[in-house]
Chains A and B, each alone.
Chain A
Amino acid sequence: MNKLYRALWVEDGALEDLPELVGPVYMSGRYDLSIAVNVTDAMRLIATREFDAIVVDIRLPPGEDPAWIRLFSGKGNSSAGARLGIAFLQTCLGRVTKEVYVPKHQSWLDASRVGVMSVESESELAEVLTELQIRHFVQKGAAPSRSVLLDLLDAITMSKSE
């Protein structure tokens, strides 16, 4: 029996815009997939269990945590402007900046378990990806392959096991 990896997809459009991407992940039989549609939910999930792979969007809403709401409001209540995915990654990878809330770093969590899938281009995010040492990135285009999420999760788990 192959190992079942625990995967987390942090994506606010998971239920409405991109549900087609989860089919290949479930059908592969390799992942126990959890979904978080905002930063509060994502923080709650990584505080309660360990994941082998985490795929994060950049334009995320804050959810209900007042501190994340403040950060979001301070940047015009816009997912595109606030880019909370970056703050979320900095927070959970322990790179504390002056605007980032609750640096509760999980000891199991490091950059090798993280991938980014966003509408921003890789060059646009190059500085952040380098700083956080995140190697796995996919840009969301107008015509994404249906296996794009599965491919990214496979890339993360395979590079970890190498």
Chain B
Amino acid sequence: MNGKRGSNMPELGALSDDHEAFDPRRQIEELTKDIGQVLHTYAATLQMIQTSLHPTVTALVREIDQPERALDGSAESIQLIAKDLAGFLRLALGQIEHHPEDTASHHAIQRLSDSLIWLEDIEQKVEVKEFRVPILRDVAIQIIEDIQSAETGGVSNLVRLEIRKHASYLEKACCVNALLRIQHVILNLDYQIRAFREFILQPGRTAESPRLVSLSHILSVAIGDIVNYARVNQVSIRKKLAKPDVLIRCYERDLARAFSNVLHNAIKYSWRVEPPKQVYVEIHSRYVAGQSHVVEIEISNFGIPIPLDEIERGQIFRFGFRGRFAGDRRRTGTGIGLTDTKRVVENHGGSVEVQSRPAGKRTGSLRDQPHLTTVTIGLPFSLRVRK
């Protein structure tokens, strides 16, 4: 495979025509296009999975929902179904008149007794709450198998049918719970892939002309981009914008993405809380005293800290950089969001600053100390909107 190029230069990205001279710029362009295509395919695949999951979840919920009480894949519903099932199983085990002689039935009845203990004592037996639902699903499947195979003399058919029905409800509710978790993961991934694709393909796009766009419109586009992500993470977005609105001469698509990146981070790194408490990200804008044509937009959230040294050294803006706590509790990312935001904002003559300071009750460790993180984007505007 050498000869025509006259060198041992490795090939990059898409295979190039062997007859052509090696052209690194062209190779990088091709590679970029390939990556963009792959990312596009990933985004489309995620969308396909998402659109298929939704009716599947709806169909399963319809199966377990009951007129007298609404049941779904929530932990509370699963607990209720498990309790009902335990009641019928206890009844059945009490009705068995004699233990069967054949070994298979004997073992099946022993397993049904074990299953009853799992249903009744799951919280004591399994400390980690994330493990309880998958274990209950396995218990449900085991009960369905055992109640069919065991020779249970004395147990009425009605009770056997109720056990089977409730075990099937339990299995389905646990499946719904798992599917909802998958939906969550998909929405988490979706933004990352779309933003990465935007970033990768941005240099190759035909440059749009800058135009006058209102700040409120840009923020609406940015919020629209992450609204599903915010919903599944149960984060609300609160907006307090200075009046009157302003018009900014900008590349709308890029500037909206710059804000989406920051909003996405704010949601991702917000701490989760148990209802009825609510998590929110706040967007606040104000005019800067002494600078007649600058507007500052602050985006704040409570949650994971950004260590001071990472801010002071400017590491947070470095391409591909992921902070010490960025991977906390399996949060994923590409490390390009803030780099992209800074570049876009500076292209518009603006600036980006980040602060992260302790908030709430003091704890011993930095990782467990909630921080108020604020990203401030300063942008020059052209004029204020008159009514």
Which of A10-18, A91-99, A122-130 is found at the contact surface with chain B?
A: A10-18
What residues of B have a CB within 8 angstroms of the CB of A35 in the complex? 128
**Quick check: is B330 within 8 A (CB to CB) of the other chain?**
yes
In the complex, are the beta carbons of B330 and A77 less than 8 A apart? no
Kindly state the separation between the CA atoms of A107 and B365 in the bound complex, as whole angstroms: 31
| Docked complex: B131-178 residues within 8 A CB-CB of A | 131, 133-135, 137-139, 142, 178
**Quick check: is B358 within 8 A (CB to CB) of the other chain?**
no
In the complex, are the beta carbons of B138 and A27 less than 8 A apart? yes
In the complex, are the beta carbons of A77 and B135 less than 8 A apart? no
**Quick check: is B237 within 8 A (CB to CB) of the other chain?**
no
- Which residue of B126, B128, B178 contacts A20 across the interface (Cβ within 8 Å)? B178
In the complex, are the beta carbons of B327 and A15 less than 8 A apart? no
**Quick check: is A69 within 8 A (CB to CB) of the other chain?**
yes
**Quick check: is B326 within 8 A (CB to CB) of the other chain?**
yes
In the complex, are the beta carbons of A19 and B134 less than 8 A apart? yes
Total interface residues on A, using CB and 8 Å? Answer: 23
In the complex, are the beta carbons of B330 and A22 less than 8 A apart? no
In the complex, are the beta carbons of A27 and B322 less than 8 A apart? no
Asked, given contacts A15-B128, A16-B329, A64-B365, whether A22 binds B324 with beta carbons under 8 Å apart, the answer is: no
**Quick check: is B287 within 8 A (CB to CB) of the other chain?**
no
What residues of A have a CB within 8 angstroms of the CB of B142 in the complex? 27
- B121 CB to nearest A CB, Å: 12
What residues of B have a CB within 8 angstroms of the CB of A64 in the complex? 365, 367
Chain A's closest residue to B322 (CB) is A77
**Quick check: is B350 within 8 A (CB to CB) of the other chain?**
no
Q: Produce 1/0 per residue, A63-76, CB < 8 A to B.
A: 01000010011001
Q: Produce 1/0 per residue, A21-65, CB < 8 A to B.
A: 011101101000001000000000000000000000000010010
- Which residue of B125, B137, B185, B323 contacts A23 across the interface (Cβ within 8 Å)? B137
What residues of A have a CB within 8 angstroms of the CB of B329 in the complex? 16
- B111 CB to nearest A CB, Å: 10
In the complex, are the beta carbons of B330 and A23 less than 8 A apart? no
What residues of B have a CB within 8 angstroms of the CB of A12 in the complex? 330
What residues of A have a CB within 8 angstroms of the CB of B139 in the complex? 27
What residues of B have a CB within 8 angstroms of the CB of A24 in the complex? 138
**Quick check: is B130 within 8 A (CB to CB) of the other chain?**
yes
| Docked complex: B100-119 residues within 8 A CB-CB of A | 114, 118
In the complex, are the beta carbons of A73 and B134 less than 8 A apart? no
In the complex, are the beta carbons of A23 and B326 less than 8 A apart? no
Kindly state the separation between the CA atoms of A24 and B322 in the bound complex, as whole angstroms: 35
**Quick check: is A79 within 8 A (CB to CB) of the other chain?**
yes
Kindly state the separation between the CA atoms of A12 and B322 in the bound complex, as whole angstroms: 17
What residues of A have a CB within 8 angstroms of the CB of B251 in the complex? none
Kindly state the separation between the CA atoms of A24 and B321 in the bound complex, as whole angstroms: 39
What residues of A have a CB within 8 angstroms of the CB of B324 in the complex? 69, 72-73, 77
In the complex, are the beta carbons of B134 and A23 less than 8 A apart? yes
**Quick check: is A78 within 8 A (CB to CB) of the other chain?**
yes
In the complex, are the beta carbons of A26 and B131 less than 8 A apart? yes
- B200 CB to nearest A CB, Å: 19
- A40 CB to nearest B CB, Å: 10
Kindly state the separation between the CA atoms of A64 and B367 in the bound complex, as whole angstroms: 8
Kindly state the separation between the CA atoms of A23 and B330 in the bound complex, as whole angstroms: 21
Chain B's closest residue to A20 (CB) is B134
Kindly state the separation between the CA atoms of A73 and B323 in the bound complex, as whole angstroms: 8
Which of A22, A24, A64, A69 has the most B CB atoms < 10 Å from its CB? A22
Chain A's closest residue to B178 (CB) is A20
- B10 CB to nearest A CB, Å: 21
In the complex, are the beta carbons of B330 and A17 less than 8 A apart? yes
Kindly state the separation between the CA atoms of A64 and B133 in the bound complex, as whole angstroms: 29
What residues of A have a CB within 8 angstroms of the CB of B328 in the complex? 61
- Which residue of A13, A15, A29, A76 contacts B322 across the interface (Cβ within 8 Å)? A76
Kindly state the separation between the CA atoms of A78 and B331 in the bound complex, as whole angstroms: 12
Kindly state the separation between the CA atoms of A115 and B229 in the bound complex, as whole angstroms: 37
Q: Produce 1/0 per residue, B290-324, CB < 8 A to A.
A: 00000000000000000000000000000001111
- What residues make up the interface of A, taking CB atoms closer than 8 Å to B? 12-13, 15-17, 19-20, 22-24, 26-27, 29, 35, 61, 64, 69, 72-73, 76-79
A-B CB contact pairs (8 Å), 18 listed: A15-B130, A17-B330, A19-B130, A19-B133, A20-B178, A22-B128, A22-B131, A23-B131, A23-B137, A23-B138, A26-B131, A26-B135, A61-B328, A64-B365, A76-B322, A77-B323, A77-B326, A77-B327
- What residues make up the interface of B, taking CB atoms closer than 8 Å to A? 114, 118, 125-126, 128, 130-131, 133-135, 137-139, 142, 178, 185, 321-324, 326-330, 365, 367
Beyond A20-B134, A26-B126, A77-B321, 15 additional pairs, beta carbon < 8 A: A15-B128, A16-B329, A17-B185, A19-B131, A19-B133, A22-B131, A22-B134, A23-B137, A26-B125, A26-B135, A27-B135, A35-B128, A76-B322, A77-B326, A78-B327
Instruction: Please list the 4 inter-chain residue pairs (A to B) with the smallest Cβ-Cβ separation, ordered nearest first.
Output: A23-B138, A15-B130, A23-B134, A20-B134
